Every structure is written in structure tokens, then in C-alpha cells.
Structure 1
Amino acid sequence: MSTLDQVRKDALQLSSEQQEMLTEILQNRHRENRRAEIATDAQQTLADFYTGNISASVSPRCYFSIRRC
């Protein structure tokens, strides 16, 4: 398995265009992973709500937390 330092060194060997492509690929993967995490959390929260494990609450803190995502 590559270390982060090795990956960084390898990435610096790429052309500028390839570095931009790699950056876009990594950013897109990060976004996709984050969306999947959010979706999983939302599904679990809804399941907890419908089973009565949590109660409805719309506090400003909760609202603004959701809006940032």
C-alpha cells in the first residue's frame, strides 16, 4: 500500500493537466462519499424517528447544521 508521501510524490510527477484531473477525481469522490454518509445518517435518523427512539425537534442549531451540508 502506498503512503501519502509516496502518492504526493507520484502526483507531482504528473503533468499539470493530469494533476487537475486527479484533483477533480478526488474532489468528486470526496463529495460522493460525503453524500453517501449523509444519506445513511438521514435514513437512520428517520428509522429512529418512526420507531419512537427520537422526537421531532426543529431547533435553530439543528436547522443551520442541516443547511451547511
Structure 2
Amino acid sequence: MNTLEEVLETALQLPYEQQEMLIKILQNRHHESRRAEIAADAQQSLADFHADKFQPQSAEDVVTALRQSLQEPDA
């Protein structure tokens, strides 16, 4: 397997137009991968919902929990 540094060195040896194409290809694949991840999460959430794994909550409780999660530092 190549290291990131090796890949970057190789990419920088490409002509400018090919570097631009490589950037677009990588961005598109990254976006596709993220979309697939989001879709899988959504499918799991729907399955959990249909399996009654969620507890009813008031909108106020949900908003409070969301605000608290935004204030917590990332682990």
C-alpha cells in the first residue's frame, strides 16, 4: 500500500488538467461514500423506529437534548 506522501508526490507529477480531474473524481467518490453512509444510517433509523426502539419525547425535550449536544466538546 502507498503512503499518503507517495500518493501526493505521484499526483503532483500529473499535468495540471489531470490533477484537476483527480480532485473532482476524489470529491465525487467522497460524496458518494458519504451519501451511502447517510442512507445506511437512515435505513437503520427507520428499522429501529418500526421496531419501536424509540421512546416518545416532547419537542421541548428534543430541542433541549440537541442544544446540549451542540455544547458538548467532541470526544
TM bucket (normalised to shorter chain) is 0.7 to 0.9
1:20 match: 20
Report percent identity of matched pairs. 57
Partner of 1:50: 50
Alignment of 1:53-64 (within 5 A): 53-55=53-55, 59-60=62-63, 61=66
What stretches of structure 1 move > 2 A for 4+ residues in a row?
55-61
How many residues are matched? 61
Give unmatched runs, 5+ long, in structure 1.
Answer: 62-69
Please tell me whether the aligned partners of residues 49 and 55 of structure 1 are also in contact (alpha carbons under 8 angstroms). no
- Residues 49 and 56 in structure 1, CA contact (< 8 A), matched pair in contact too: no
Once the two structures are TM-superposed, the CA of residue 55 in structure 1 deviates from its matched residue by 3.5
Amino acid corresponding to residue 6 of structure 1 in structure 2: E
TM-score, normalised relative to structure 2 = 0.74
